[in-house]
């Protein structure tokens, strides 16, 4: 298996639920603003927790996948984590001479319908040779549920599955009510985990954690 790293490099600009929705779920009156910063922080944490559990990206963001080299066996494909894929921004690599090159879009094609999405060389072509160094290949792409582009501002959350939004609310409520890393239980101490109800909602959205390249 090739070594890789993947990271979100920008976004999301909006959270999966609004502050007003979070307040309503937590039963906090609109005139009580003392915990607003905490609610915002926990909403982000809840969404990231749900994304990690499902291996998905919910609200559209830019990601970078870095590989030490292009794959050179089997189907010659790269799997892009955190589906669904929206689009590929660029495929860059360090060539044998140490220069950074951008691989034009006519040299590869992406299958956004698969989860994770697949990236392969165009028909009849092969991936170019790279310098033997760490992170020689960088794929930049947009992932998340597609925004609704009509109107302004851009609506980035309507297409997110209802199950994901409901699970984030359950996780948020759990985090808000239990603000320590552990909570006391009869007979001892128990670590706080994702609530069972949230897990139930998220399981059907979970993506198998396949190898990223073959």
- The string of pLDDT tens digits covering residues 103-131 is 999 999 999 999 999 999 999 999 999 99
Q: Centre a 10 Å sphere on the Cβ of residue 182 and count the other Cβ atoms it contains.
A: 11
Q: What order of strands is seen across the sheet that includes strand 100-102?
A: 4-10, 61-67, 137-143, 85-94, 100-102
| Pairwise pLDDT comparison (76 vs 193), residue with the higher score | 76
Q: In terms of Cα–Cα distance, which of 153, 138, 15, 162 is closest to 88?
A: 138
**Does residue 214 register a pLDDT over 90?**
no
- Model-level pTM greater than 0.85? yes
In this predicted model, what pLDDT tens digit does every residue of 42-89 receive, in sequence order? 999 999 999 999 999 999 899 999 999 999 865 689 999 999 999 999
Model confidence band, residue 189 (pLDDT cutoffs 50, 70, 90): very low
Mean pLDDT, residues 139-152: 89
Domain count for the chain, please give it.
1
Continuous segment of H or E residues that includes residue 62: strand 61-67
Can you say whether residue 82 is alpha, beta or left, with left for phi > 0 and alpha for psi between -120 and 50 degrees?
Answer: left
Task: Identify the band that residue 5 occupies on the pLDDT scale cut at 50, 70 and 90.
Answer: very high
Judge contact between 167 and 196, C-beta under 8 A: no
Are 94 and 130 spatial neighbours (Cβ–Cβ below 8 Å)? yes
Chain-centre distance of CA 24, in angstroms? 26
Q: CB of 119 within 8 A of CB of 74?
A: no
82: domain range? 1-214
């Amino acid at each position: 298996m090739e070594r890789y790293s993947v990271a979100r490099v920008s976004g999301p600009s909006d959270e999966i639920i609004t502050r007003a929705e979070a307040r309503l779920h937590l039963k906090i009156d609109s005139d009580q603003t003392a915990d607003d910063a905490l609610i915002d922080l926990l909403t982000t944490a809840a969404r990231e927790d749900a994304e990690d559990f499902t291996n998905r990206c919910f609200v559209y963001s830019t990601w970078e996948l870095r590989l030490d080299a292009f794959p050179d066996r089997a189907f010659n494909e790269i799997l892009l984590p955190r589906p669904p894929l929206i689009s590929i921004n660029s495929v860059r690599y360090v060539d044998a001479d140490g220069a950074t090159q951008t691989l034009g879009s006519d040299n590869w094609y992406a299958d956004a319908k698969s989860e994770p999405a697949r990236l392969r060389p165009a028909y009849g072509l092969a991936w170019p040779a790279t310098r033997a160094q760490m992170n020689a290949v960088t794929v930049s792409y947009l992932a998340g549920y597609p925004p609704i582009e009509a109107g302004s501002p851009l609506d980035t959350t309507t297409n997110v599955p209802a199950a994901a939004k409901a699970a984030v609310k359950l996780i948020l409520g759990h985090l808000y009510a239990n603000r320590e890393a552990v909570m006391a239980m009869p007979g001892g101490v128990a670590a706080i985990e994702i609530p069972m109800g949230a897990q139930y909602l998220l399981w059907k959205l979970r993506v198998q954690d396949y190898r990223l390249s073959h």
